[in-house]
Amino acid sequence: MATRRKALNLLQTYETTLLESNGPRSFRALVIPSRSIRYSEPEAFVTHDDPNLTLSWITDIESTDLSKVLASMLVPEEGDFNEFRANETVRVAKNLSGASINQRDLAFATKVTNERLIPFESSPLTEKSLHELVGGLKEPDGVESLSSLVIAKPKGQAAEEIPLLVISRPDGLIVFGSGKSVRRAEQLGLWRRLYRFLRGEDDDEG
């Protein structure tokens, strides 16, 4: 009797990098379409357990606050990783007093927020702005999104706190941050955490 093989399913992600043409600033976006999220809803990515890297929800982000929150995430490429201004980003996101934003950072973040630069799966594949994806523009199909500021931290190392933006939608998931912050989060296990989530692997499955 022939043994039936399991169907081979492919998981797909998109990645895009946005660079300042005349300066050191950059952002990176990791985009995962819903068809690649097989075992849970997109918003479960933040609470999914992982042995190496935790994501802590801080607050939801409205589209009107998006540019200034992203501006507060930018870190000079030549700076030390301890210079991630996680506390500053939290103050900006929560509209607390004492927060300060560099105007060049804000100009770059505003341009990135409003231009259609993020490859997002539809039919056909199109580019959307972060403003649209966060829900700043009403979509015809009534798609709702949840945009959250999260802090990535390696387990057992309280010193590093990396601010990231996570956008959860019924049609996919976006992890967004400064180029340096996403690169550092990758070094600490962000991609491994993402793959475990997409495959539905629990903490004790190795």
pLDDT in tens, 132-142: 888 754 555 55
Please report the pLDDT score of residue 115 as a whole number.
92
Q: Helix, strand or coil for residue 154?
A: strand
Q: What whole-number distance in Å separates Cα of residue 162 and Cα of residue 56? A: 10
Q: What whole-number distance in Å separates Cα of residue 179 and Cα of residue 196? A: 23
Q: What is the pTM of this model?
A: 0.84
Is residue 110's pLDDT more than 90? yes
Ramachandran angles phi, psi of 190, nearest 5°: -60, -45
Ramachandran angles phi, psi of 186, nearest 5°: -65, -40
Is residue 4's pLDDT more than 60? no
Across 66-95, average pLDDT = 76
Is residue 202's pLDDT more than 70? no
Is residue 8's pLDDT more than 80? no
Residues 6+ apart with CB under 8 A from 84: 75, 160, 161, 162, 163, 181, 184
Residues 6+ apart with CB under 8 A from 200: 38, 39, 40
Q: What residues form DSSP beta bridges with 54?
A: 153
Q: What mean pLDDT, rounded, does the chain reach?
A: 80
Please report the pLDDT score of residue 23 as a whole number.
85
Do 26 and 16 touch, CB atoms closer than 8 A? no
Domain boundaries along the sequence of the chain: 14-201
Give helix then strand counts, H and E, for the chain. Answer: 6, 8
Strands 53-60 and 146-154: antiparallel
Is residue 109's pLDDT more than 90? yes
